Amino acid sequence: MEDLTDVYNELIMEHSMNSYNKRKLDDATISEIGHNPNCGDEITLEIKLNGNIIEDLAFSGHGCAISQASTSIMIDTLKGKTIEEGREIIKTFIGMIKREITDEDELKKLEDAIAFKNVANMPARVKCALLAWHTIENMLNEKV
Amino acid sequence: MNIEEIKKDFPIFKNTNITYLDNGATTQKPIQVINAINEFYEKYNANPHRGAYGLSIEATKYYENTRAKVAKFINAKHTEEIIFSKNATESLNLLAYSYGMDNLKKDEEIVLSIMEHHSNLVPWQKVAKTTGAKLNYMYINDKFEISNEEIEEKITKKTKIVGITHISNVLGTINDVKKIIKYAHKMGAIVIVDASQSIPHEKIDVQDLDADFLIFSGHKMLAPLGIGVLYGKRELLNKMTPFLMGGDMIEYVYEQDTTFAPLPNKFEAGTQNVEGVIGLGAAIDYIEQLGYDTIQQIEKEVVDYAIDELTKLDYLELYITPNRKNHSSVISFNIKGIHPHDVASILDSNGVCVRSGNHCAQPLMRYLGIDSTCRASFYFYNTKEDVDKLIEALNKAYNMFKKYINI
């Protein structure tokens, strides 16, 4: 049986249970709800853009440790990046979870979000890890 | 009866090292069922009702004999009151379309319990929207049971259809369907019983219940996936229009019109799942040979033990009625402060299979004020050791999370 301590590691646990990114933005540019109806996980993601820069992000909602931590760590990773850089990071993260991208150098740009690498070994939880990333991918593609 | 001996009938337990506690979703299959299907394909495979040759007649015999076996199993008065379907969901859709759409008028009422599975709920929403009928719910009390007052308040003279699950797939509550049927009949309504969660565990007697319709799926009672049953009183089925149209459900087909076959063929369009039917027959044989008394005796001992042990874990929230006699073999629970999907993943990593989620019962979850639960559901091949493994894995999950939990 698989040891899950590499998935439920310190970083992921901290972000899932006590995230400083779980708050409201006063002046969000875009806001969108992402949900997995099958498991009831639901997040509201807010982005504040400043020109081409993703200046601030926040989330609210509820879900499992993996979906909550993934949302929070995504926010840390994307904050301050340009929209183009953001899109590239999102693509890389989704590729990592789907095991389409395994090159360590390529994964470096994910910063802390690399902590979710082992979720790729848990097919039942892939959609938990991807909830926020698919939501923001949609926001940046359709609303910017 | 020695459970270890029983377990030997189930090849999956030889081939894997799992603690299988998801019997509410589907049960494992005994070798007797697997062999029966094998034998069908090796010796009797042909399309029933079609050919004039010996093999097709043989296949027809096996298919129809199983119908008679199912009728006897649930004590139906007539064999043609048994209709084979794909699953419980298809049986319920058949009733919604072929009975509900034709028998409900604007402002008449459909009454369901809040603990219905989506399969006995979503089709009725469609019927209500199309016919203008109202959809009302019988809610549960703080013991997770439907009270007499609730039954008598919700089922009225306007009620034409009552849909009720015999046993909740989330709470394990055993509903007093006989009482509900009696009251509904007094009010002039017909009753549809979802026996999917009960027939694996207890004897069903449709005449004693006086159920108008009763449905179940085979795969939750040792049979293969893809075979379901609809029982209906003959006089009701006779009046209903067919659900699916096509081969084998007809008498005469003209360019513009068709006359339909009598029961049961009227409701069995197209080539049927014969291997499923044969497997269902073998599953019934297995259950009858073991006996419902033995099944209940084994389950009671193991489930009682599980409830006792789970109650000792003070970090756990249990969603079961305190009235043990009204509770079956499904136990829903949550570790306070930890999401059930995380708990289920950690249990899985310890070889313990439970279900987590809303269990196709979102309105019930919303009513309980929760998103989801973990659910352990037992069958007669489960042992106290399986319970111990569940407890051990739950303790591991709790210990992994406890320093981060903020409730």
Pairing of strands B213-217, B190-194: parallel
* Model confidence at A143: pLDDT above 90: no
User: Which residues does chain B have within 8 Å of residue A16's beta carbon, measured at their own beta carbons?
Assistant: 404
* Model confidence at B406: pLDDT above 80: no
Q: Which of B288, B321, B356 is the last residue of a domain?
A: B288
Q: How much is the pLDDT for B403? A: 87
Tell me if B393 is assigned to some domain.
yes
| Average pLDDT of chain A, as a whole number | 93
Inter-residue contact B117 to B355 (CB < 8 Å): no
**Are residues B221 and B310 located together in one domain of the fold?**
no
**Are residues B55 and B170 located together in one domain of the fold?**
yes
Distances (CA, A) of B382 to B319, B348, B352: 21, 17, 12
Residue B113's pLDDT band (cuts 50, 70, 90) = very high
* Model confidence at A94: pLDDT above 70: yes
pTM (2 d.p.)? 0.94
* Model confidence at A1: pLDDT above 60: no
Q: How much is the pLDDT for B407? A: 57
**Are residues B266 and B296 located together in one domain of the fold?**
no
**Are residues B44 and B143 located together in one domain of the fold?**
yes
Say whether residue A114 is in contact with chain B using an 8 A CB cutoff. Answer: no
Tens digit of each residue's pLDDT (9 = 90 or more) over B143-179:
999 999 999 999 999 999 999 999 999 999 999 999 9
Tell me if B22 is assigned to some domain.
no
> Has B374 been annotated as catalytic?
no
Task: For domain A4-142, give the fold.
Answer: Sufe protein. Chain: A (3.90.1010)
For the residues B278-297, what does the mean pLDDT come to? 98
Say whether residue A64 is in contact with chain B using an 8 A CB cutoff. Answer: yes
Helix/strand/coil for A100? coil
- Tell if the CB–CB gap between A8 and B405 is shorter than 8 Å: no
Q: Select the residue from B118, B122, B339, B389 to test the A interface by mutation, using most A Cβ atoms within 10 A.
A: B339
For the residues A127-135, what does the mean pLDDT come to? 96
Strand segments, DSSP code E, in B166-265 are 190-194, 213-217, 228-232, 250-253, 258-260
In angstroms, how far is CA B293 from the centroid of its own chain?
20
Token output for B359: 């269990």
Inter-residue contact B86 to B219 (CB < 8 Å): no
Token output for B298: 């084994």
- Tell if the CB–CB gap between B404 and A125 is shorter than 8 Å: no
End-to-end CA gap in chain A: 44
Q: For the domain that residue B76 is a member of, what is the CATH number?
A: 3.40.640.10
Among A123, A12, A138, CA closest to A67: A12
Tens digit of each residue's pLDDT (9 = 90 or more) over B246-260:
999 999 999 999 999
| Average pLDDT of chain B, as a whole number | 96
For the residues B96-122, what does the mean pLDDT come to? 98
Residue that the structure tokens 């069958």 belong to: B379
Tens digit of each residue's pLDDT (9 = 90 or more) over B369-384:
999 999 999 999 999 9
Give the span between the Cα atoms of A117 and B314, in whole angstroms: 34
ipTM comes to 0.91
Give the span between the Cα atoms of B176 and B77, in whole angstroms: 22
Helix/strand/coil for B140? coil
